[in-house]
Structure 1
Amino acid sequence: MPIDPAAALAAPPRSTDIAWEQRDVLLYHLGVGAGAHRPATDPDELRYTYEKDLQVLPGFVTVAGGGLAKAGAFSQPGLDIDLTRVLHGGQRIELHRPVPVFGRAVLTSSLAAIHDKGKAAVLVMRSEAADADGPLWTCDTEIYARGEGGFGGERGGSSRVEMPDRAPDHELEIPVRHDQALLYRLSGDWNPLHADPDFAKAAGFDTPILHGLCTYGITLKAAVDTVLDGDASRVLGYSARFAGVFFPGETLRVRIWAEGDDRFLLTASAVDRADAPVLADTVLTTRPA
């Protein structure tokens, strides 16, 4: 059987050393569109693109030190999965404190859960980073493995978020560069689906698609700039479900609803394709200013 739930869940956590520096942070920020929509010298953008007063957008933790690939997510016992049938279903990050511009940490990774959805399995890969001062972040990656369900496991709860029945408090349109995927992949995701037209066509797309985690980062930056006065250190948690594809060169529509002062609900859609869903069930939680 490709997935042995008992063996996979019983496997001991894996630990590896990771490190990053300001160059990695700057490259990630450019990869999610920093500096592209305002004058390059605008102070609001320089905090993402220039080392003086540089802050770290929390989405960076998904690529810091090599991201999921560094964690060896699919190499543990009990997981013999056809990677061509795997989809990135969702992403959640929890920040225990602001991410430093320069850092060294131990990344501990494990399989937190396996849900049986019948025709598919959902695997929750958990990575926890800690440095000499204590925990830094927890990152949960949901992997949707087609054809791997039906093993008799628990179905798991729903992560669906009920959206308010009112107009959003903020609505933004963000043009995305045609070369955005080529920039983002330099942070470590080398999947040719995001660069090679022939590979993309073989996968059923007319042209390469944008990384889901790139759209995730673009949307987070838009929310930080809009509702947190650009202060990325206020982010406590951010989660999203990947609801559809997005193509470089399209315009992303981000809608934001405030639920009090510390919780925001978001959606992201493709303006060019009649607001086709891109991110759904997206929640941002924050600490007070």
Structure 2
Amino acid sequence: MSLDPSVIGVRSDPSPRSWTSADTLLYALGVGAGHDDPLADLRYTSEHGDDACQEQRVLPTFGVMVTWGTRRGGQKMGDFDPAMLVHAEQEVVLHRPLAPEGTVSVTSQVTGMYDKGKGALVSSESEAVDPGTGEAVVTTRSSVFIRGEGGFGGDPGPKAASPIPGRDPDELVTMPTWPGQALLYRLSGDRNPLHSDPRFSARGGFERPILHGLCTYGVTGRALVSTIARGDGDAMASMAGRFSSPVLPGETLQVAIWRVDDTTTAFQTRKEDGTVVLDRGLATWR
């Protein structure tokens, strides 16, 4: 089993991607909106809105689903056991607020393969544009860690300083998950059996199916929007973070938030026991 470095830098052909109002509503429910209080987040969980918004809005982290499923560069990355693959990093850049339904044209490419010793880190980028005007809508950058695929003597990859300040957070927001959340979230597109099949997750070394990293990312995004933007998801311009530990459905998360300046927020998501699950978080605001 091995990776194929020849795919690096090969951009895929444009691929159409459409979503509906039902897709964006389902995504909001999957990341926990309205779960504990059905009347909360109505602007994201119904087309009726709430006192502040009389029509449906879209959580900004849905931007990751706009490019989800497009094969990186249109080619297979290599031959490896998919049970050894976990999401490592994610960034979404929103060039404009997302509409409840829409169509874009998506291209993607592998941007790097890095040797991390016990595994390999593979990074990629996808761009979604308006098919009529060519205007950028969403850019996503992500990486996956593939255990057992390192040791090939390659570049270990760039190192970046953490944006987390060396002081206590300005806000600490508690965000619960629930036992069946992964089964609901997977309906937004990520059907990886790591999150639903105990036999598959056991192959990956997990005691039971884990929560999608992007679900944790979406839960964290909700905390940021609620705290920093007072519920206005359209204010978010970007959000990036590194997945550092798995989450089991039903565990309670705590999002630590640091206000860096008027347009920049650092964040870190932890379990109740202090285990960091989403690190080096940075969000920007319009």
Q: Is the counterpart of residue 50 in structure 1 residue 73 in structure 2?
A: no
TM, length-normalised to structure 2 = 0.90
8 A contact 1:8–1:79 mirrored in 2: no
8 A contact 1:14–1:110 mirrored in 2: no
Report SS of the residue matched to 1:167: coil
- Corresponding residue for 1:163? 164
TM, length-normalised to structure 1 = 0.89
8 A contact 2:73–2:108 mirrored in 1: no
Gaps of 5+ in 1: none
- Corresponding residue for 1:217? 218
Which piece of structure 1 moves more, 195-204 or 91-100? Answer: 195-204
Deviation sequence 1:69-126 (CA, Å, 0-9, x none): 2x12386166334323222111011111111111111010111222233443221111
8 A contact 1:159–1:281 mirrored in 2: no
Amino acid at match of 1:221: R
Q: What CA distance in whole angstroms lies between the structure 2 residues aligned with 1:128 and 1:33?
A: 27
Report SS of the residue matched to 2:187: helix
Report SS of the residue matched to 1:163: coil
User: Of 34, 39, 42, which residue of structure 2 is paired with 1:41?
Assistant: 39
- Corresponding residue for 1:9? 8
Q: What CA distance in whole angstroms lies between the structure 2 residues aligned with 1:118 and 1:250?
A: 31
8 A contact 2:74–2:108 mirrored in 1: no
User: Once the two structures are aligned, what percentage of the paired residues are identical?
Assistant: 39
Report SS of the residue matched to 2:105: strand
Q: 1:213 to 1:16 in 2, by over 3 A?
A: same
- Corresponding residue for 1:234? 235
User: 1:151 offset after TM fit, Å?
Assistant: 4.0
8 A contact 2:88–2:143 mirrored in 1: yes
Amino acid at match of 2:277: V
Gaps of 5+ in 2: 49-54
Q: What CA distance in whole angstroms lies between the structure 1 residues aligned with 2:77 and 2:194?
A: 27
Alignment of 1:88-103 (within 5 A): 88-103=87-102
Which piece of structure 1 moves more, 207-216 or 154-163? Answer: 154-163
Deviant stretches of 4+, over 4 Å: none
Q: 1:262 to 1:206 in 2, by over 3 A?
A: same
Number of equivalent positions:
278
Report SS of the residue matched to 1:63: helix
- Corresponding residue for 2:108? 109
Alignment of 1:61-76 (within 5 A): 61-64=63-66, 67-69=67-69, 71-73=70-72, 76=75
Amino acid at match of 2:39: T
- Corresponding residue for 1:283? 282
Alignment of 1:173-192 (within 5 A): 173-192=174-193
- Corresponding residue for 1:207? 208
Q: What CA distance in whole angstroms lies between the structure 2 residues aligned with 1:113 and 1:126?
A: 10
Amino acid at match of 2:126: S
Q: What CA distance in whole angstroms lies between the structure 2 residues aligned with 1:63 and 1:218?
A: 14
Q: 1:72 to 1:78 in 2, by over 3 A?
A: closer
